Chain A
Amino acid sequence: MEYAIELRHITKTFGSVVANHDVSLDVRKGEILSLLGENGSGKTTLMNMIAGIYYPDSGEIIVDGKLVEIRSPKDAYALGIGMVHQHFKLIDVFTAAENIALVLDKQEKYNLKDIKAKAQQICERYSFDIDLEQKVYEMSVSQKQTLEIIKMLYRGAQLLILDEPTAVLTPQETEKLFAVMRNMRADGKSIIIITHKLHEVLSISDRVAILRKGEYAGTIDTAAADEASLTELMVGKKVELNIEREAPVNPHLRLNVHNLTITNAEGIKVLDQVSFEAFSGEILGIAGISGNGQKELLEAIAGLQHPEKDSSIVYYPDDDRDSTAEQLIGKSPKNIRDMGIHLSFVPEDRLGMGLVGSMGMIDNMMLKTYSEGHSPLVDRKGPRYLAEEIKDELGVVTPSISTPVSRLSGGNVQKVLVGREIAAAPSVLMTAYAVRGLDINTSYTIYHLLNEQKKSGVAIIYVGEDLDVLIDLCDRILILCGGKCNGIVDARKTNKEEVGLLMTRLAGKQEGGVA
């Protein structure tokens, strides 16, 4: 068997954290290998060592049967290894072709015409769909990713590493990517793909290598695997895949959003006349391809946007529809809080909006409550107690509750954020991509927390990307497309195909199919 790359006994530590311990795995020529593992299991670190970004503490890397040193991405390129990172390394103001030119060897001559011709060949060979003259800032996420892959192939990559490439793609784009990957495999290239989505693993890869807590847990042929067996290998124990869902108890109207329209700084309507109702004791799912107005919708309710006039967001504290209804438009987050309305909001950007990365858990606990009371001094007693509580109850792994939260892993950061928002005893709880990037265990912890809140009568708005989860977790699902509401469906009666269709169908062609 010919191997593209073999890793032997690789170990890598960061301070006291062991990211990889004694990992050995290999990739055959002309195969697609899925690298599977929970969050923090060391997948990205391992790949970074192949790509020359990190250097292993110990262990050997063998490429094409020869022991090699990979000290820098340059070494990796020279060995035919290319990695497409989660965060693209592109220059926004350059065109696609100019970005490709950036990877040129020193010896190569800079001739944009030749570069374009060669890149065009690659595109045709693997049927990439890209305009080489387009500037990167005009590109969609999917196009940028394509460009990254072309860049690597241009540089002569024989082994391509894709780090969670589908996380940012629509199902259709994912299919396109997979088609291209199969073309590359047919051409004899080897591909390592990191993903969390088990169905993708099963559909694209030849073999699956699994990492568990930084250690190698084994490789199995995809043909012999199913979701259950992969999950078991990954988490080490059997996890209940079904999400519990109970019928809403005594729901009553909590939020009435009417004609919500938001125009962004560029003058584009990011939300266009969106209307819906949210009920207590219910989880309302928001489905849609990333960037179709989900963020603005939640922020508008939280008082962080400036909706157009005629927009209306009315909050009802209890059964009485009229007496104490409050209009939220035009109110700042502080105004809303001062009105006694507990809106909790888990934003998509956890460290850039929901939390202060440089602060510890304690200081993050008081982000929304610090100003309470008349003393000019902050009171850290309550937040300290709350931080301890959340740490214990949600099992936040952190050296101390004073450690800056930016040093925690993604899952723990999310636990801190969700924990704080739930602790605020909300009447409305909004979450944006609450489980993005989280491993299965943590994801289920979050689902469980949401269901608890639902039971206690909170109106929950859940913006998600995984349709299976949306359909299993939510009571109703609102589908956003191009800033318009493309419909609200009963989650118990719908299926992925229906929701997926609503997500991609242009709102203009839709004739008022609101359920």
Chain B
Amino acid sequence: MTNTHHEPLMRIVKRSESTFKHKVIIRLIAVLLALVIDAMFIYFVTGLNPFAVYTTMFQGTFSNPMRFSWAMRDLASLLLVGIALAPAFKMRFWNIGAEGQVLVGALATAAVMVYYGGKLPNALLYPTMLIAALAAGALWGFVPGVFKAKFGTNETLFTLMMNYVAIQLVACCVNIWRGQASGLGKLNMKSKAGWFPQVFGQRYNINLIVVVLLVVLMYCYLRYTKQGYEISVVGESENTARYAGINVGKVIIRTMILSGALCGLTGFLIVGGRDQTISTGTAGGNGFTAIIVAWLAKFNTFYMALISFLLIFLEKGAGEIASAYNLNDFASDIIAGIILFCILGSEFFINYKPIFRSSKQTSIGKEVA
């Protein structure tokens, strides 16, 4: 059988090394492509003017200082969890339990506010809230850590299950605390005991300050400290770690205590600085979204900040589109999702390049498979 001789239309080749400029260009192309696809979706499916929709999307975060400030506040919550997860995931410990660790931290904070608010002076109340939150989060990290280290249990299932325990605990406490009211509302509404003081006009600005500090601290911890080095080695290979004389179990437990405690800290900041109350939705899914953040950034906290911002920007933008155009929020989520997809997809093209067959084709007999 005679056939046209041709090579595959496209093949994928690994790139040797991408330059910074190259990476930037690929990502820009990805964003442009996303905008084009989105424009078609917006125009043909929703019948709206794509440019107007994009403007609206942009306004979700940038239309006024207030919205930008809120975006930063939400970014702080997400990024904090991401930072907390970074050491655990760098150690290849699949901590799916951040949601629960944040919740117990928040619960401990709320409990201190409820039972000691007004009874302790603020100078003592805040440290008590903080310590309770850190301890609760650390405990939630310690338990799966110790089981993994001592008995080799599967940490993914373990941490996931711990989430449900935390959620039920919170639901139970909320039910007790709400008393005869239909909902819990803000804690210590009258006395505002345990509410963070306003810094630059907002209580949650403290969260922002903490997250900025933690971005730098966690970066240094992972990169420049001996413990950070141990985490990298354990994450790469437990055999290598044992060979190097690292006590693998100890590192696992220690790192999970740290990861859990930082999640607890997040819970403390959310309750004290952002919500001043608690519900089963306090962690708001950040415990899961943060996994994406941590992995995409390959545990570099500065990249994590960028990725968190992107996610928050898209979320706010989608919300604004839905509100402004009376769109079903599934439609606006599709618009945001396409952008996210293209940007994530571009990572592939940073590591690989497609080679298309050249146009010249020779006609030679070919054995057809």
- From 215 to 247 in chain B, residues with beta carbon under 8 angstroms from any chain A beta carbon are 224-230, 232-233, 236-237, 239-240, 242-247
Residue B47 lies at the interface, judged by CB distance under 8 Å to chain A = no
Q: Distance (Å) between the CB of B359 and the closest chain A CB?
A: 15
Q: Which residues of B have CB within 8 Å of A333?
A: 242-245
Stretch of B141-149, B171-179, B338-346, B361-369 with 4 or more beta carbons under 8 angstroms from chain A: B361-369
By the criterion CB–CB under 8 Å, are B366 and A356 in contact? no
Question: Are A334 and B366 closer than 8 Å at their CB atoms?
Answer: no
Q: With a CB–CB cut-off of 8 A, which chain A residues contact B364? A: 67
- Name the contact of B243 in the complex, choosing from A304, A366, A376, A399 (C-beta under 8 A): A304
> Is there a chain A Cβ closer than 8 Å to B119's Cβ?
no
Complex Cα distance, B242 from A377, in Å, reads 21
Are A352 and B239 neighbours in the complex by a CB distance under 8 Å?
A: yes
Stretch at the interface among A9-17, A27-35, A93-101, A119-127: A9-17
* B side interface size, CB within 8 A: 34
Query: CB-CB contacts of A283-318 with B at 8 A, as 1s and 0s?
Result: 000000000000000000011100000000000000
Chain A residues with Cβ below 8 Å from B366 are 66-69
Chain A neighbourhood of B11, CB < 8 A: 55
Tell whether A341 is near chain B: CB-to-CB under 8 Å: no
Which of B16, B244, B365 is close to A67, meaning CB atoms less than 8 Å apart?
Answer: B365
Q: Which single residue of chain B is at the shortest CB-CB distance from A406?
A: B236
In Å, the complex CA distance between A399 and B16 comes to 11
Quick check: B225 and A376 within 8 Å, CB to CB? yes
A residues less than 8 Å from B245 (CB atoms): 303, 332-334, 337, 368, 371
Q: Would you call B226 and A378 a contact (CB within 8 A)?
A: yes
Query: Contact at A16–B240, with CB atoms within 8 Å?
Result: no
Residue A475 interfacial (CB < 8 Å): no
Please measure, in the bound complex, the distance between the C-alpha atom of A74 and the C-alpha atom of B368, giving whole angstroms.
12
Is B8 on the interface with A (CB-CB < 8 A)? yes
B-contacting residues, A348-382, CB 8 Å:
349, 351-359, 363, 366-368, 370-371, 375-378
Given contact pairs A69-B6, A333-B242, A334-B245, A15 touches B17 in the complex (Cβ within 8 A): yes
Number of A-B contacts (CB under 8 A): 104
Does A499 count as interface, using CB distance less than 8 angstroms?
A: no
Q: Is B186 an interface residue (CB 8 A)?
A: no
Contact between chains at A55 and B369 (CB < 8 Å): no
Bound form: Cα–Cα A63–B225 in Å: 58
A71 an interface residue at 8 Å Cβ cutoff?
yes
> Given the interface contacts A356-B233, A359-B232, A376-B226, does A14 sit within 8 Å of B8 by beta carbon?
no
Give, as a whole number of angstroms, the nearest-CB distance from B358 to chain A: 10
Name the distance in Å between A241's Cβ and chain B's nearest Cβ: 33
A71-B8 CB under 8 A given contacts A14-B16, A333-B244: yes
B150 at the A interface (CB under 8 A): no
Closest chain-A Cβ to B258's Cβ sits at a distance in Å of 13
Contacts of B67 in A (CB 8 A): none
Closest A residue to B5 by beta carbon equals: A67
Cβ contact within 8 Å between B227 and A376: yes
Pick the residue among A17, A67, A357, A377 that contacts B236 (CB under 8 A): A357
Judged by DSSP, the binding face of A is loop
Tell me if A216 is interfacial: C-beta within 8 Å of chain B: no
Q: How far is the CA of A302 from the CA of B243 in the complex (A)?
A: 8
Q: Evaluate whether A356 and B237 lie within 8 angstroms (CB atoms) in the complex, with A55-B11, A347-B243, A367-B244 already known.
A: yes
Q: Of A64, A353, A378, which is within 8 A of B239 by CB?
A: A353
Whether the Cβ atoms of A356 and B232 lie closer than 8 Å is: yes
A55–B8 CB distance below 8 A: yes
Is A353 within 8 A of B16, CB to CB?
A: no
Question: Which listed residue, A15, A302, A367, A375, touches B240 by the CB 8 Å rule?
Answer: A367
- Give complex CA distance A366, B228 in Å: 13
Q: A22: CB under 8 A from chain B?
A: no
- Mark contacts of B1-45 with chain A using CB atoms, 8 A cut-off: 1 yes-contact digit, 0 otherwise: 000011110010111110000000000000000000000000000
* Chain B, Cβ-Cβ closest to A354: B243
Q: How far is the CA of A325 from the CA of B14 in the complex (A)?
A: 54
Residue from B237, B364, B369 having most chain A Cβ neighbours under 10 A: B369
Let me know if A154 is at the binding interface, CB within 8 A. Answer: no
Check A304–B242 contact: CB distance below 8 A.
yes
Is A115 engaged at the interface, CB distance under 8 Å to the other chain? Answer: no
B222 to chain A, nearest CB (A): 11
Question: Which residue of B has the minimal Cβ distance to A356?
Answer: B236
- Complex CA distance for A23 and B354, rounded to whole angstroms: 24
Residues of chain A lying within 8 A (CB to CB) of residue B6: 69
B15: chain A residues within 8 A (beta carbon):
15
Once the chains bind, are B226 and A353 in contact (CB under 8 Å)? no
7 A-B pairs with CB atoms under 8 Å apart are A67-B365, A75-B369, A79-B369, A333-B242, A371-B226, A371-B245, A378-B226
- Sort A-B residue pairs by CB-CB distance and give the 6 closest, nearest first: A15-B16, A334-B245, A333-B245, A78-B369, A353-B239, A16-B16
Question: Residues of B at under 8 Å CB distance from A?
Answer: 5-8, 11, 13-17, 224-230, 232-233, 236-237, 239-240, 242-247, 364-367, 369
